Amino acid sequence: MGKSYRIAVLPGDGTGPEVTAEAVKVLHAAAGKHGFSVETTEFDFGGERYLRTGEALPDSAAQDLRAFDALLLGAIGHPDVKPGILEKGILLRLRFELDQYINLRPVKLYPGVETPLKDKGPEDIDYVVVRENTGGLYTGIGGFTMKGTEHEVAVQSMVYNRKQVERCLRYAFDYTRKRNRKKTLALCGKTNVLTYVYDLWERAFHEIGEADYPDIAREYYHVDATCMWMVKNPEWFDVIVTGNMFGDIITDLGAITQGGMGIAAGGNINPEGVGMFEPIGGSAPKYTGKNVINPLAAICAAAMMLETLGETDAAKAIEASVMAVTPTMKSMGAGKMGFSTTEVGDKIAEGVAS
């Protein structure tokens, strides 16, 4: 008998519960086939709970979740809760408290999936963004002074220390080596304007690369140019590493080139701790309960979770099943797939089990 994994499922808001249910279905199919087992425990963190209790996350949450092997998150965001409260109170708080300092976001176009990039196909769009996930502008350091007056000042600081930068860069170098494709790591920064923060990143990038990763080629792009090349020549990229804010922005651009939020998955990873895997789209309230939302992003997130747990064969089998099903779908968009949410989940699970 293989290992048994304890997975905390945080279905969250809107369509989150629908997509996580399909991801869990696929996890069980993969477990059955690949000789391990999965035991899930649900947590009700999200907008409904917040409206009921006035608390986004109990103080014990991070500690409780540390007892699990991994976390699977649906979506956070509720139409009756002011933007920022749940995002900061649940998603960002868990990323910080669990020190999930890597946000891993593959940008991969699967067969039969439509991309807005002219003349580009699956052979051109296949790279991974390593986004630093606990620092930078997201630390929330800053404030107002003279608020409400014409002299009002607002400051929000991009903060990085060497250790944060270094651990993220080392993860990215290791990942590039393990991926074993073009063996090229591109740093995405803005050294022409953010002359402190990205100077630190750039120096660390070359120092670490030269000393410990001579087999990995290093490239540098400003963030604005990165966006341009992600559209014009996505085939140039293998692995891109960047800070938190730029990573947030460029991965939405990447997501749309791979077919949109229905398919894009992300992993919040603490290489020494517990990770949280999620579809990178939102809670899509208008589609809630209609069985029309695309569960593939959540399913791909579950595959990334298995990969991170070391169940590489199972992760590959899920991806292979996804690649067999995408050509049969009309679109990746909610309500336009040609199948229901549960049908897509069933098809992937059948593919994995067969």
- Strand 70-75 to 4-12 pairing: parallel
190 is catalytic: yes
CB 143 within 8 A of CB 155: yes
Using rule CB under 6 A, residue 13 touches ligand IPM: no
Question: Judged by CB, which is closer to ligand IPM: 92, or 318?
Answer: 92
Question: Judged by CB, which is closer to ligand IPM: 23, or 92?
Answer: 92
Of the candidates 87, 166, 174, 346, which one interacts with ligand IPM according to CB under 6 A?
87
Name residues whose C-beta falls within 8 Å of residue 192's C-beta, 6 or more positions apart in sequence: 222
CB 78 within 8 A of CB 86: yes
| Catalytically annotated residue among 190, 198, 213, 221 | 190
CB 296 within 8 A of CB 262: yes
Q: State the minimum distance, in angstroms, from the CB of residue 261 to Mn ion.
A: 10
Using rule CB under 5 A, residue 278 touches Mn ion: no
Using rule CB under 6 A, residue 56 touches ligand IPM: no
Q: Which stretch binds ligand IPM (CB under 6 A): 50-58, 86-94, 211-219, 233-241?
A: 86-94
Question: Which of Mn ion, ligand IPM, none does residue 91 bind (CB under 5 to 8 Å by kind)?
Answer: ligand IPM
Question: Judged by CB, which is closer to ligand IPM: 279, or 345?
Answer: 279
CA distance 209 to 279: 31
CA distance 155 to 242: 22
CA distance 343 to 348: 9
Q: Which stretch binds ligand IPM (CB under 6 A): 24-32, 47-55, 85-93, 186-194?
A: 85-93
CB 304 within 8 A of CB 99: no
- Strand 70-75 to 37-42 pairing: unpaired
Q: State the minimum distance, in angstroms, from the CB of residue 201 to ligand IPM.
A: 19
CB 102 within 8 A of CB 271: yes
Using rule CB under 6 A, residue 97 touches ligand IPM: no
Question: Judged by CB, which is closer to Mn ion: 18, or 248?
Answer: 248
Query: From residue 278 to residue 297, what is the string marking binding to ligand IPM with x (rule CB under 6 A)?
Result: --x-----------------
Using rule CB under 6 A, residue 94 touches ligand IPM: no
Of the candidates 22, 132, 238, 248, which one interacts with Mn ion according to CB under 5 A?
248
| Catalytically annotated residue among 44, 224, 286, 336 | 224
Question: Judged by CB, which is closer to ligand IPM: 85, or 194?
Answer: 85
Q: Where are the alpha helices (DSSP H) in the chain?
A: 16-34, 47-53, 61-65, 85-86, 93-97, 162-179, 197-212, 223-232, 244-257, 296-309, 312-325, 341-353
CA distance 6 to 130: 26
Name residues whose C-beta falls within 8 Å of residue 57's C-beta, 6 or more positions apart in sequence: 45, 89, 90, 93, 94
Q: State the minimum distance, in angstroms, from the CB of residue 248 to Mn ion.
A: 4
Contact positions with Mn ion (CB under 5 A) in 164-203: none
Of the candidates 18, 22, 132, 248, which one interacts with ligand IPM according to CB under 6 A?
248
Question: Judged by CB, which is closer to ligand IPM: 115, or 134?
Answer: 134
Q: Which stretch binds ligand IPM (CB under 6 A): 39-47, 87-95, 224-232, 254-262?
A: 87-95
**CA 61, 265, 268: angle at the middle one, nearest 5?**
35
CA distance 346 to 337: 14
CA distance 187 to 241: 5
5 is catalytic: no
224 is catalytic: yes
Residues that bind ligand IPM (CB under 6 A): 87, 91-92, 248, 280
Which are the catalytic amino acids? 138, 190, 224, 248, 252
Residues that bind Mn ion (CB under 5 A): 248
